[in-house]
Structures are given as C-alpha cells and as structure tokens.
C-alpha cells in the first residue's frame, strides 16, 4: 500500500492509503471528499459550541434585527419556541444576536462539548504524527456522533434554517463566507507530487510514484488556478533547529579556544632557549635594575 501524506499549501492535513493501480482521478476524488468532510466537521463543531451557549439560530427574517425592530414588525421565532432543549433552558443573551439565547442546561451542554471534542480528535491533524490513516468512514462516524448528540439535546430536531441542520442535510450555503474559500471543488481539484501536477486523464499512481508498493509520499491538494504549491523544504523544522544549535555550539567552542590562546608562558624561564647557556656562564641571576 502507498501511504500519502496529504497537505494543503504547507500545512499537514491527514494520511491516506491507496494502491499503485489507483487512477489519479479516483485518487483526487477520494482525497477531496475526506478533505471537505473534515472542513464540514470543523464547521459543525464551531456552530455546536455556539448552540450549547445560546440555543438555536434565529430565522432569516429576524436575523440581524434589533429587539425593537422585531417587536415593531411583530415577528415571532416559532421554530425557536418549538425547539426546546431536553431538560429545559436558561436565557442567556447572544452578544451578536444570531441565536435566541435559550441555553441548554449544564448536563446537555457537557454532552455537546464532549461530542465536539471527540469529533475534533477523530479528524485532528495530530493523527499524522501518530501514523493514523484517515478514511471516509471516520469522517462519517464523526458526523453521526455529532448528529446523534443534537437529536438527544433537541428531540424535536433543530429548525430547518439552522446551519447545523443544513450541514447534516448537506444543503448548506457557504456562498460569501470564508469557509467557501477553503472548500475544494472535486471537479477542478489538482494534486501535486514533487512539484509537478498529477494529471487526471489516463494516469495511475504508479506513473508518478514508481513501482515500489510499500512507500510513503507527500502530495499537495489545491484548487485549480492557485498555481503550483511550494516545494518541500530540504530539512524540516526540527532538523533546522538542530543544525542551528550545532552551529551555535561550534561558534562558542571557537570563541573559547580563541580566549585560551595565551602566549604569556613564553616569558617563563623554562621556555627561554638561551637559559641553559647563561646558567653555564653564571649569568642567570644577573639583574640590571639598580639596588635600593
């Protein structure tokens, strides 16, 4: 099996396992599905953290209005009145006014936070260092975990306009958001190996990686039009730090040797090449200074 260390730009994402006989087109589709799935989970987790604090999302007609405007227009959040968290709620005003402020009780908050943390760990980038292979099944398990938690806290389901429910139903609208820039279109996605694009037509993994099945390589995924990603550095950050540390120690050793290069011993009698001759002539104890 070929282990692929998938990166986006210079950031590690996950490990993916494939074979040399896999077509480049299938490889791109599978990697993009996992990449976008991880982004979906991150978006859901972020919204569920807000759900645990401030309750369900206001409907579009109320969203962005002040309480005075809502009262003046006689608008009512019917879905918010229907979707009550299990065990009741506590009113906590959302400072940015996106949610209705019906905060679930502490045990339900803890359940949401626990599931969110578990889902994040399932897709964490740290799994690369642990050599854990990422699969679409893991992505689906994380989504199912979050979906099950929401059903426990909100048995009546979330409002149809809530972004969490829209994410679960795969009808989310990301247009005009930062998240839309992060998602990669599988139809136009590009994958790069050793600074070269892996073309998707009539090519296989072995055409780029070689004939050795058991290997680990780095590939980078990107949207078409972003250009070729930067090449991998010759050494990683730890190696660079070790090299700098070695150079610093060598420099300190040279400084110490320079300080120890003392030639004052040349003034000693034992270092005087003419000392023996003067001793034979009785001239070794002669002082030219006047006596006091």
The string of pLDDT tens digits covering residues 68-79 is 887 888 888 887
pLDDT of residue 65: 82
Domain boundaries, the chain: 15-184
Q: How confident is the model at residue 4 (pLDDT cuts 50, 70, 90)?
A: very high
pLDDT bracket for residue 149 (50, 70, 90)? very high
Quote the pLDDT of residue 261: 60
Res 214: pLDDT: 85
| Nearest alpha-carbon partner for 99 in 150, 138, 59, 61 | 59
pLDDT at 17: 94
pLDDT score, position 66: 81
**This prediction's pTM:** 0.77
Largest CA distance in the chain: 124
For residue range 151-160, list pLDDT tens digits in order. 999 998 899 9
Nearest to 4 by CA among 143, 192, 199, 284: 192
Average pLDDT of the chain? 86
Helix axes 24-54, 136-153, angle to 10 degrees: 20
DSSP 290: P
Of 81, 100, 83, 84, residue with least CA distance to 92: 100
Q: Encode pLDDT of 181-224 as tens digits.
A: 899 998 889 898 888 888 887 788 888 888 877 889 989 998 88
* Structural contact between residues 7 and 110, judged by C-beta atoms closer than 8 angstroms: no
pLDDT digit string (tens) for 11-69? 899 999 999 889 999 999 999 999 999 999 999 999 999 999 999 999 888 887 887 88
Q: How many residues does the chain have?
A: 292
- Bridge partner list, 15: 5, 133
Does the pLDDT of residue 273 top 80, yes or no?
no
* Rounded Cα gap, residues 286 and 72, in angstroms: 117
| 44/174 Cα distance (integer angstroms) | 13
- Kindly report the number of other CB atoms within 10 A of residue 30's CB atom: 16
């Amino acid at each position: 099996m070929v282990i692929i260390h998938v990166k986006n730009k210079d950031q590690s994402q996950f490990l993916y396992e494939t074979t040399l006989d896999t077509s480049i087109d299938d490889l791109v589709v599978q990697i993009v599905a996992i990449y976008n799935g991880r982004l979906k989970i991150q978006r859901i987790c972020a919204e569920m953290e807000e759900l645990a604090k401030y309750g369900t999302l206001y409907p579009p007609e109320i969203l962005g209005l002040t309480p005075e405007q809502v009262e003046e227009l006689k608008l009512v959040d019917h879905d918010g009145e229907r979707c009550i968290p299990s065990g009741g709620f506590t009113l906590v005003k959302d400072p940015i006014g996106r949610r209705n402020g019906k905060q679930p009780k502490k045990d339900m908050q803890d359940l949401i936070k626990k599931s969110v943390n578990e889902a994040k760990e399932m897709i964490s980038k740290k799994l690369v260092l642990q050599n854990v292979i990422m699969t679409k099944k893991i992505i689906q398990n994380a989504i199912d975990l979050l979906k099950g938690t929401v059903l426990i806290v909100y048995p009546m389901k979330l409002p149809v306009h809530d972004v969490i429910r829209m994410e679960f139903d795969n009808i989310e609208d990301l247009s005009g958001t930062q998240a839309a820039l992060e998602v990669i279109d599988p139809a136009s996605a590009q994958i790069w190996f050793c600074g070269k694009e892996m073309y998707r037509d009539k090519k296989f993994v072995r055409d780029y990686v070689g004939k050795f099945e058991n290997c680990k390589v780095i590939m980078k995924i990107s949207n078409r039009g972003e250009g070729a990603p930067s090449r991998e550095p010759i050494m990683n950050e730890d190696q660079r730090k070790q090299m700098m540390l070695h150079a610093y120690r060598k420099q300190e050793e040279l400084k110490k040797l320079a300080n120890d290069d003392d030639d004052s011993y040349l003034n000693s009698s034992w270092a005087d090449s003419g000392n023996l001759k003067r001793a034979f002539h009785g001239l070794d104890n002669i002082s030219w200074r006047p006596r006091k």
